[in-house]
Chains A and B, each alone.
Chain A
Amino acid sequence: MSSSYRFGDYEFSSRLIIGTGKYESFEQNLACVEASGAEMVTVALRRVNFDREKGPLLLDFIKPDRFTILPNTAGCYTVKDAVTTAHLGRELLDTKLIKLEVIGDDRTLFPDVAGTLEAAKILLDDGFVVLPYINDDPVACQRLEAMGCPAVMPLAAPIGSGLGVRNPTNLRIILETVEVPVIVDAGVGTASDAALAMELGATAVLMNTAIAHAKDPLAMAKAMRLGVEAGRLAYEAGRMPRRLYASASSPLDQIASF
């Protein structure tokens, strides 16, 4: 098991954070959370649906006394909506944690950087522990860190796209630029994507669709756990330098001559 990480008053040994959207059932969702080893789980806030038949609810399965629940502001396109949603999340879940999303465009779901910075400032002043979803933009990450965000969450690729780490060099620059934990959030498609993010030095990876929309979500949850762990261990181990030409692994002397 690789080492734990922390931000603010929170400490986690699992470097995988997973979402709760798009699963076929709460049972499947819980099984995947358990298989992934995730300790922190994201949820969204939506209107109570009065038309829906009464039945079990998400938090009956993903219990707040078992997992750290990270509410998000997904679906918010304005600073005002994100701030109001964050406050409702705090009221609902008794948590200061908020995964801040201020979305700028509904096709790409890319963040509105200016809006994210503005909302982060307001929420930090209100005492929130703000985890901002942001572009893979080193300057934006630096601004968020300077403001007091205890971690930054640059995307690997658009939310739900499964395209993997599209800009590893920017992630590397972000990792060299900020000192707070860097949680790669969104865009991971399969275990090697998660491993790559971790090998680059990411502190943790947050994903939802890659597990929920795998053919076998439970198997993918296990794969992601292993991918994140393998990537972290490889990062800690330190990879060998790349070289253009071969370097024989077997001795070059005492080679027989027939």
Chain B
Amino acid sequence: MNHGQNISVNGDPREVPVGCSLERLLCLLDLQNRRVAVAINRGIVPRARYAASIIEDGDRIEILEAVGGG
């Protein structure tokens, strides 16, 4: 777990351990109970696949939520 991977989350650089799942990342970000939707490198990750999705070095992750809009 010492070898960090450099990824970006919502445009900001972050480091996550090798083998980190998307589910774990969402926990680290304190988003586990929040209604969000996630794309990794433009690919949408369904909620059911959060645990099985392993983050890789260089991944660009976008985590979105619903906000006010017209």
A interface list, Cβ under 8 A from B: 19-23, 29, 42-48, 50, 54, 57-59, 69, 71-72, 74, 80, 84-85, 87-89, 91-93, 159-160, 186, 206-209
Contact A72 B35 (CB under 8 A): no
Contact A87 B44 (CB under 8 A): yes
Q: How many A-B residue pairs have CB under 8 A?
A: 102
Pick the residue among A21, A48, A80, A92 that contacts B70 (CB under 8 A): A21
Interface of A is mostly: mixed
Give 4 new A-B contacts, CB below 8 A, not counting A22-B70, A45-B65, A91-B44. Answer: A46-B65, A47-B65, A54-B30, A71-B66
Q: How far is the CA of A71 from the CA of B30 in the complex (A)?
A: 24
Contact B64 A45 (CB under 8 A): yes
Contact B67 A45 (CB under 8 A): yes
Q: Tell whether A208 pairs with B70 under 8 Å between CB atoms, given A47-B11, A48-B64.
A: yes
B interface list, Cβ under 8 A from A: 10-12, 29-31, 34-39, 42, 44, 46-47, 62-70
Contact A46 B64 (CB under 8 A): yes
What residues of A have a CB within 8 angstroms of the CB of B29 in the complex?
48, 50
Pick the residue among B31, B39, B46, B67 that contacts A58 (CB under 8 A): B67
What residues of A have a CB within 8 angstroms of the CB of B11 in the complex?
47
What residues of B have a CB within 8 angstroms of the CB of A159 in the complex?
70
What residues of A have a CB within 8 angstroms of the CB of B47 in the complex?
91
Contact A44 B39 (CB under 8 A): no
Q: How far is the CA of A160 from the CA of B11 in the complex (A)?
A: 28
